[in-house]
Structure 1
Amino acid sequence: MTTSESTGTVDLVDGVLQITVATDAAGTSLSGAAMVEGANALHALNSGELTAGAVLLLGSGSNFCAGGNVRAFAAAPVRGAYVRGVADEFHRFVVELAATTVPVVAGVQGWAAGAGMSLVCHADIAIGGRSTKLRPAYSGIGLTPDGGLTWTLPRIVGPARARDILLSDSVLHGEEAVRLGILSRLVGDDIIISEAQRLARTLAAGPTAAFEGVKALLQKSDTHTLAEQLDAEAASIAAAADGPTGHEGVDAFVEKRRPDFS
């Protein structure tokens, strides 16, 4: 992909890799094309073949993503094999998304159910509105979660709350989702997508190397002791101070001007 290119589900514009995870087709269910094309684009980003400063996950339509295509599940000759194929495809996307070193933003309008909720939990910053609703939805159709939801949700809300949400198939409204930390912030329902796009562009124009360092430190904190994390932070900030991003940021502060991280 070039600096301004689109495949229909994946767009690279202004340094933002935008992936449309669901459309109005099939009731805003998870797009298989988006998972394949998105995973390929994310792999290119992670391997250095593609340059972007942020990733943006969006839905096109009334919902962010209403979950998997249950009608396709029902129509499959061998349901287990079909669903396994869908899950494997979805999980390749999730693995590449989790490996990204740039910020991941999600604009979450309407419903984020099933796979949609799983994706929201992988975003670094998830923007919703008061009408946003999240629901695991898996047990409602007799299935178990995928997309890493049983891994991310306990880390966001705690194990006990995660068990309650998943077993009760809870519907979480925007304000509660923010309180629990699943959504990062609420904006007006009519500006969710535009605000997510604005934030992604701002992050893409920011100190990419510093963001990479922040994400790396946060990932290490899961398994580090405090002493180990302090050592990691000291090494990271020293490396950042010697890098071009750190030089520009510090010099701009001293010179009382806006830094140019491009």
Structure 2
Amino acid sequence: MNDLPVLVSFDAGVATLTLNRPETGNTINMDMAQALLQAAIRCDTDGAIRCVVLTGSGRLFCAGGDLSSFADAGTNVAAFLSQLAGTLHMAVSRLMRMRKPLVVLANGPAAGAGLSLALAGDIVLAAPNAHFTAAYGAVGLSPDGGMSWLLPRLVGMRKAQQMIISNRRVGADEAAEIGLVSHVVSAEELTSEGMKQASLLASGATGAIGAARALLLDSYGDSFEGHLDREARSISALGTTDESREGIAAFLEKRRPDFIGMQRAQTDKA
């Protein structure tokens, strides 16, 4: 079995990142954090990648930080945690800020930073056996990976307080009800349904999707009028792109837009 901490594969414009420490529940150590950052940078900068899928190997999606590595750091634990969290945060930021969609397949339980990674997806599909736990308070720590920013925005402050402060576990069905995940999908169909969703997104107007991702993310820090200006500037800029011209032409000609073929033609010209 491949012993790389993050497996990366590519198919038809979709990059799949698989957390690959199944013997530890895909817990995050420094090697995994660095590998995830490298993969996220590639996904962000490679124009041939049009959608990214993030999942885990084995029974768990991700059980959070590797506590044994915390203990091994001894008296240097503060510096170690700063470096580990900082590396993970650069990876999360890349995945959140890249101009292409992210699909998360929660193939099993997610805890700690694993929950944070699940929250980062635009579409999050969960297997029925998945459950979600903040877990930090149980080991005397506070959240990282963006959890304390993302969770209340997805599920509301009261439910976020229950999960983070009270360490309440949320099952897959409840996670879908409260908006923590998009859908619950059978374990047998999770990968196929996830790749179906990713293929649909990869065939779409990724430039427009990327701009929408940025607007949604920036909306939390904007005034309403300031965000109206961002929207106006964004739609104006997109109106001059080949994607927009192809999309409008396809609509008027009553055909499906071919954004992938358009990108391929641009690459051939270059």
| TM-score range for the pair, normalised by the shorter chain length | 0.7 to 0.9
Is the 1:17–1:56 Cα contact (8 Å) retained in structure 2? Answer: yes
Q: Which moved more, 1:113-122 or 1:240-249?
A: 240-249
Encode CA deviations 1:178-233: one digit per residue, 9 max, x unaligned: 12211011211222222222212221221111101211221232233333333333
Asked if 2 retains the 8 angstrom alpha-carbon contact of 1:64 and 1:108, the reply is: yes
Query: Structure 1: 5+ residue runs without aligned partners?
Result: 1-5
TM-score by length of 1: 0.88
> Residue 202 of structure 1 is aligned with which of 191, 200, 203?
200
1:153 CA displacement: 1.2
Tell me: CA distance 1:16–1:27, structure 2 relative to 1, closer, same or farther (3 Å).
same
| Aligned equivalent of 1:60 | 57
Q: Which residue of 23, 30, 38 maps to 1:25?
A: 23
Q: 2:210 aligns with which of 209, 212, 215?
A: 212
Number of aligned positions between the proteins: 256
Residues 1:259 and 1:50: Cα distance change in structure 2 (over 3 Å): closer
1:243 aligns with 2:259: no
Answer yes or no: is 1:69 the counterpart of 2:69. Answer: no
CA RMSD of aligned residues (A): 2.2
Q: How does 1:46-57 map to 2 (within 5 A)?
A: 46=44, 48=45, 51-57=48-54
Question: 1:3 corresponds to which residue?
Answer: none
How does the TM-score come out when normalised to structure 2?
0.85
Letter in 2 for 1:244: D
Q: Is the 8 A contact 2:6 2:17 kept in 1?
A: no
Aligned in 2, Cα 1:254/1:50: closer, same or farther, shift over 3 Å?
closer
2:140 alignment partner, one of 142, 149, 164: 142
Match of 1:97 among 95, 98, 106: 95
Q: Provide the identity percentage.
A: 34
User: Residues of 1 paired with 2:5 and 2:29: CA distance?
Assistant: 13
Contact 1:22 1:58 in 2 (8 A): no
Structure 1 residues 8 and 213, CA, compared in 2 at 3 Å: closer, same or farther? closer
Give 2:230's match in structure 1, choosing from 219, 229, 232: 232
Where does residue 11 of structure 1 map in the other structure?
Answer: 9
- Which residues of 2 match residues 136-215 of structure 1 at below 5 A? 136-215=134-213
The aligned counterpart of 1:127 is 125
Tell me if structure 1 keeps the 8 A contact 2:204–2:259: yes
What is the SS of the residue equivalent to 1:9?
Answer: strand
